[in-house]
Structure 1
Amino acid sequence: MKIMVWDLIESVSNALDMINSNLSEHHGKVAYISMRIGTMLGMGNNDIEKMIYAALLHDCGVFTAGEANSIARFEFDTSANNHAEIGSKLLKGLTFIEISEIVRFHHTPWKHGEGAGARDGRPVPFASHIIHLADRVATLSAVNGNILLHSRDILETVREHADTVFHPDIVAVFHELAQRDSFWLDVTSNDVKYLVNSSIRSSSIDIGIDELYEFSRLISNIIDYKCRFTATHSIGVARVAQAVSRKIGFSSAEGILFEIAGHLHDLGKLSVPAEILYKPAGLNREEMAVMRSHSYITFAALRKVRGMENVVKWACEHHEKLDGSGYPFRRTDSELSLGSRVLAVADIFTALSEDRPYRKGMCKRDTISTLNSLTGTHLDPYVTSTLVSAYDEINDIRALYQKTAFDIYMEVLN
C-alpha cells in the first residue's frame, strides 16, 4: 500500500479548519503564504515542502472553538495558550516528516534577534518565523468584502511589527509579495490548497502501511484530546476492531487496516462544538443534527486519500445500521460490508465500556445485554456474538491500550 503524504495531511488540515468556521481555509492560506515567502528567499525544495506540511498542521494542538477564537485575534496571549507546544508533542510521533520543532516555535516573536533561539538554547527554525508571519497574515485576511480593499492595511500592520514580532527579512519579502493583487486573490481563493499542491506535486512523498498507521494515531489524538473522557476512545475502537477482525478470519495485515479505520472513524467530530460533544444530558433536535453530520464529514475529509478506500468506507459507516435507520447514508444489510459491521460493533462496545461525563462505564453484564438488544436490527449478529464470546480477552485488550494511551495524553497536556 502506497499513500501520498499530501492526501493525508490535506484531509487532516481540512478537518482542523472546521474547528473555527470563521477561519475558512486558514491552514491552506498559511501554507500558501509560507511557500511563496520561502521560494522568494531561495529555500531549497525539501525545506519548503517540510515547511508546507508544518503549516498545514500548525494548529493541531488547538482542541476547542474557544482556543481557536483566541488565536484568531492578531495579538493574543501566547502564555495562556500552549497549543504550539501541544501540537509539537503530538507531531513528534511522526518519523517520516520531521516538523514538530517548526510547529513548536511558530508563535515565537523575533524581538530584535532574541527569537533566533529558544530559552533552552535550541535554535528556532527559520521556517517557524515564516509560518508565524504567514499565520498572522492569514488571520488578518479573514475579512468581509474584497481582500484588495484591505491588503494595504494588512501590510501596514505587519510592517509596524517588523523586528519586534516578525523577522525583518521575512517582512521585506512579504512587502514585495503584497504589492501584487494576484497574491492576495490566491490567498483568499477556494483553491488555495490546490495551488500549494500544484507547486510540490513533483516531490510529494509516498508512505507505506507503517507510516500510515503512525499518522492515523496522530489523527486519533487530535480528535480525542478535545476531552479527557474521550481521550482514548479511538485507540479503544481501533484495538477492539483489530481483535474482532482477527477472530472472524481477517489477516494480520487487514487487522492493521482495521486499527487505522478505528483511529480515523471520528475525524468529523473536529467540526462538532465541544458543548454538544460533552453535553451531560440528551441532545435537542438541532444538536443531534450537528452530531449526525460527523460521520459524513469523516467521509468527505478522507475520500480524496487514494489507496485506502476500504479503510475510509469502514470508518465513515460506523453509525450505519442493518435496518437502514443509521446515518449518514442509510445503508441497509445488503449494502454494508463486513468491515463496516466490525467498526460499528467496536465503536458501540468501546463507548459502553468507557466512563463519560454523565455515567460510568457499563459492567460486563450490562454491556452484553445492550449489545444483544441491538443485534439484528442495528448490529451484525455474527460480529456481535464473536465479540461476546471473547468478551474478557477483548475487553482486557481495550482496557490495557486505553490506560497506556491515557498516560500519554496526560504527559502531552502537562
Structure 2
Amino acid sequence: MDFNLNEFLGAVANTLDTIEIDIFGMATNHSKRIAFISVKIAHELQLTNEEIFDLASLAIMHDNGASMKILHDNLKGTAKEKINLLESKKEHCIIGEDNLRDFPFLTSPQNIIRYHHEKYDGSGFFGLSEDEIPLLAQIIALSDTLDLAFDLRSAFNQEIVTAFVNEHRNTFFSPLLSDVFLNIANQHEFWEAFSDKNIDDNLKKVTPIFSNELNYNEIHTITKTLSKIIDAKSKYTQTHSSGLSEKLKKMAEFYKMDTIMTLKLLIATDLHDLGKLAISNNLLDKPGKLSKQEFEEIKKHPKITSLSLQKINGFEEITKWASNHHEKLDGSGYPEGLIAKDLDFNSRLIACLDIYQALREERPYRKPMDHNKAMEILKSMAEVGQLDTDIVGDVNSVFLNL
C-alpha cells in the first residue's frame, strides 16, 4: 500500500509524548523540539532528504527506551529534574537502540540512539570522541543537550543558549555543529517554532515528505518496533503483544486466511494497546482492585489508540480492529459500547484472543491461568452474549494441547 511515513511518524511522536505525561506529569514536546533542531542543522549541512527524514525519525524516537518501566521507577522532583535523571541513565540508550534494530530506515543508520549522549571530548557514556561519534548522533546530542538544559520556548533564554554553545565548543559539541547551530540561532523564526502551539506545524514544514509503496510485511516490521515500546511500559505486559500476535497467526492458519489479511491483523495486534502509553503505571501495575474512577481511566486506552492511528491513510480497517479489542457483542464493552451488528469477524477475533492472552499472563493481582481456567472465563462470557461463541470454541480447539 502507499504508506505515508510522515503520517506514521506523527502518530509515533504523539504517542511517545504520552509517555512523558505518565513519567513527568506533563507533555513536554521534548522529542519534537529535538527533531526540529536536528532537521534544521541537517538542512544547513546539506544532508540528503533521506538522511534528514531518518534523522527526524531518530530524534523523535531518541528516548523510546524511556518506556521501559524500570528506568523511570522512583524518579522524583519536577518534570525537568525527572527528565535529567532519566537521561543520565545510559541504559535508555542501549534499550532504545535495540528497540529500533529492525526499523526500516531509509539509509540504514547505525548506533545513533546508542550514542546520542556522547560528547565531542569523549566524556559521554561510552567514551567516544570527535569523529568516532556518528554525525547524526552528534546532531541529536547537541539538540538534546540544549533542550534539557534550557527552556527553549522562552525568549529570555536565547542569549544564554548561544553563550552555552560557544562555551562548550570542542567539549560537548564539535566546532562545525556549534557554528551551524549559532548561524541558525540568528534567525528569529527559529525560536518562535519551539512553542507548544507551533512545534507540530514547524516540524512538518522542515521534514521531507516520504510516501513509499510498502507491502504489509514491511509495515509489520515497523509496527513490531512500536509494539516492543508499548509492551515495555509495564513488567506485566513485556510479551503481551508478541504473545497475542503468535496466537493470531495460529488462528489465521486455522481459518485459512490469506497472507495480506493475516499481516493486517498482525499490524492491528501490534498497535492495539498503543493507548496504554497514556495510562499511568500506577494503574497498570496496581496490585489491588481498581476503583471505578481508576477503571474509567484504563478504559480510555482504546480511544487513544484510535485517535493516534486515525490520521494514517490506508489504516482504516487496522485502526478499527485495534480500537475494538475491548468491545463486547452485547454493548457492554468500551470505548464505544458497540453491539454485535457493529463488530465484524476480525474485531471479534482480536477481542477473544486479547482476553485469552491476558488471562494466560501474570498480572499484579493474580497468577497466570492455564488453558482450561482461561477457557472457563471465555465460555462464560460467550454464554452471556459478550463474545462470539463460535470463535471461543475455535480458540479452545486450537490451543487446547499447546
Which TM-score tier does this pair reach, normalised by the shorter chain?
A: 0.7 to 0.9
What is the 5 A alignment of 1:172-251? 172-251=179-258
**Cα deviation code 1:254-275 (max 9, x no counterpart):** 1121111111111111111222
Unaligned runs of 5+ in 1: 397-414
Match of 1:55 among 31, 34, 59: 59
Cα offset, 1:388, TM superposition: 1.6
Distance in 1, Cα, partners of 2:167 & 2:39: 23
Match of 2:42 among 33, 38, 45: 38
Cα offset, 1:357, TM superposition: 3.0
What is the 5 A alignment of 1:196-345? 196-345=203-352
Q: Which residue of 2 aligns with 1:14?
A: 14
Distance in 2, Cα, partners of 1:128 & 1:366: 50
Distance in 2, Cα, partners of 1:17 & 1:327: 24
Q: TM-score, normalised by structure 1?
A: 0.85
Shift of the 233–12 alpha-carbon distance from structure 1 to 2, 3 Å rule, reads: same
Contact 1:102 1:128 in 2 (8 A): yes
Q: Which residue of 2 aligns with 1:87?
A: 96
Q: Which residue of 2 aligns with 1:411?
A: none
Contact 2:32 2:199 in 1 (8 A): yes
**Cα deviation code 1:279-329 (max 9, x no counterpart):** 111112332232111111111111111112111110111011112121112
1:127 aligns with 2:127: no
Match of 1:106 among 116, 127, 132: 116
Contact 2:288 2:364 in 1 (8 A): no
Distance in 1, Cα, partners of 2:235 & 2:310: 29
AA matched with 1:17: D
Distance in 1, Cα, partners of 2:298 & 2:64: 21
Distance in 2, Cα, partners of 1:173 & 1:222: 33
**Cα deviation code 1:174-199 (max 9, x no counterpart):** 22222333111112243534433343
Shift of the 11–199 alpha-carbon distance from structure 1 to 2, 3 Å rule, reads: same
Contact 1:53 1:99 in 2 (8 A): no
Give the paired residue count. Answer: 391
Distance in 2, Cα, partners of 1:77 & 1:49: 26
**Cα deviation code 1:236-258 (max 9, x no counterpart):** 11222232244345323211211
Return 245-254 or 177-186, whichever deviates more: 245-254
Percent of aligned pairs with the same amino acid: 29
Cα offset, 1:171, TM superposition: 2.2
What is the 5 A alignment of 1:364-379? 364-375=371-382, 376-379=384-387
Cα offset, 1:374, TM superposition: 0.9
Tell me, what secondary structure is at the counterpart of 2:65?
Answer: coil
Tell me, what secondary structure is at the counterpart of 2:288?
Answer: coil
Cα offset, 1:387, TM superposition: 0.9
Distance in 1, Cα, partners of 2:113 & 2:211: 20
Cα offset, 1:120, TM superposition: 11
Shift of the 79–140 alpha-carbon distance from structure 1 to 2, 3 Å rule, reads: closer
Tell me, what secondary structure is at the counterpart of 1:80?
Answer: coil
Contact 2:329 2:340 in 1 (8 A): yes
Return 159-168 or 278-287, whichever deviates more: 159-168
Return 75-84 or 353-362, whichever deviates more: 75-84
Tell me, what secondary structure is at the counterpart of 2:332?
Answer: coil
Cα offset, 1:235, TM superposition: 0.9
1:66 aligns with 2:72: yes
Return 71-80 or 232-241, whichever deviates more: 71-80
Distance in 2, Cα, partners of 1:209 & 1:122: 38
AA matched with 1:108: E
AA matched with 1:130: I
Cα offset, 1:141, TM superposition: 5.6
Cα offset, 1:392, TM superposition: 2.3
Q: Which residue of 2 aligns with 1:402?
A: none
What is the 5 A alignment of 1:159-170? 159-170=166-177
Distance in 1, Cα, partners of 2:343 & 2:262: 18
Shift of the 142–344 alpha-carbon distance from structure 1 to 2, 3 Å rule, reads: farther
Distance in 1, Cα, partners of 2:350 & 2:370: 21
Q: Which residue of 2 aligns with 1:3?
A: 3
Contact 1:223 1:269 in 2 (8 A): yes
Q: TM-score, normalised by structure 2?
A: 0.88
Contact 2:40 2:206 in 1 (8 A): no
Distance in 2, Cα, partners of 1:92 & 1:233: 20
Cα offset, 1:79, TM superposition: 6.0
Tell me, what secondary structure is at the counterpart of 1:61?
Answer: helix
Q: Which residue of 2 aligns with 1:354?
A: 361
Distance in 2, Cα, partners of 1:213 & 1:72: 35
Contact 2:72 2:86 in 1 (8 A): no
AA matched with 1:36: K
Distance in 2, Cα, partners of 1:135 & 1:325: 45
Distance in 2, Cα, partners of 1:250 & 1:75: 48
